[in-house]
Amino acid sequence: IVPSERAEIQVRSDRATGAGELVKFGQPVWYRFSFKVAGDWPQDVPAAGRQLCRTVIHQIKQDSFKGGKSCDASPFFKIEARPLGERVRFFAQVAAGASCAQPPMVTRTQICRRDLPRERWTTVQVRLNPAHDASGRVDIWLNGAFCGAYQGPMADPDYGARRNGAPFVNAQPRFGIYRDWRAETQTIYFDKIMFWNADPAGHPDWSVRSAAGVTASAATLPRACARGDTRQISGPPARTKEAGAIGWCSGQPLVNLSKWLRR
């Protein structure tokens, strides 16, 4: 996990070899994080002819290139917490299509739209299977309650980043503050950012209810996964404050991190 001047948390990986990658095409991944927006979060109010300020708090991206130049592809999965008066408009968005076409032929689908309060923790849980075809899927839960799903292709199958001829997610999961024109300070808190590469049902930090309201409880992870071997992350980076650990469990990376970010 490394900080950047963009007030974000990045997953460190080696793009040349794939070492450290948590999200891969054709391989499901489960993850969770909690966030809280502070009182200084902007208070945009809808007005005719003006779109609310975009504020992304999480994104995963496969860049697209044509002729050696970037096509400015959108994240194929992102989560926003847009300012909306005294509350924030939460939603997730999936993007798919040809970013390098002229004009770009990209479809964007929003799921799990909710209005959330400020100064209150919200837990987000995601089951993601990134794919360029119909096997792609995203399921989202908020505070343990099922919130929405998407089934279908993601990213750019034609010009998306490739390594040794195979598509790969070159911009691994990021958490932070990504916004439009705003200049004012705003603060967001993150807690317990955790990833699993096997179904975490039964793990103490993963408890969700299905669309039918059934709580997932089958213990499919080895018992050691709930404990794990941990080592402290050293050195708080600039403009962030952190306290957490990275654990490794039966070869499965388990990332656990707490931070606050201000921009």
To the question of pTM greater than 0.85 for the whole model, the response is no
Q: Give the pLDDT confidence score for residue 51 in this predicted structure.
A: 65
Measured CA to CA, the distance from residue 23 to residue 171 in angstroms comes to: 9
Q: DSSP states of 26-85 as a string?
A: TB-EEEEEEEEE-TTS-----BTTBPPPPEEEEEEE--BEETTEE--PPPSEEEEEEEET
Beta carbons within 8 Å of 50's beta carbon, 6+ residues apart: none
Cα–Cα distances (Å) from 144 to 36, 54, 119, in that order, read 16, 26, 19
Helix (H, G, I), strand (E, B) or coil at 223: helix
| Count of C-beta atoms within a 10 Å radius of residue 153 | 19
Q: What is the mean pLDDT of residues 35-44?
A: 88
Higher pLDDT, 206 or 230: 206
Q: What is the pLDDT of residues 87-139, one digit of tens each?
A: 999 999 999 999 999 999 999 999 999 999 999 999 999 999 999 999 999 99
8 Å CB contact between 25 and 77: no
Q: Which residue has the higher pLDDT, 251 or 87?
A: 87
Per-residue pLDDT at 239 exceeds 80: no
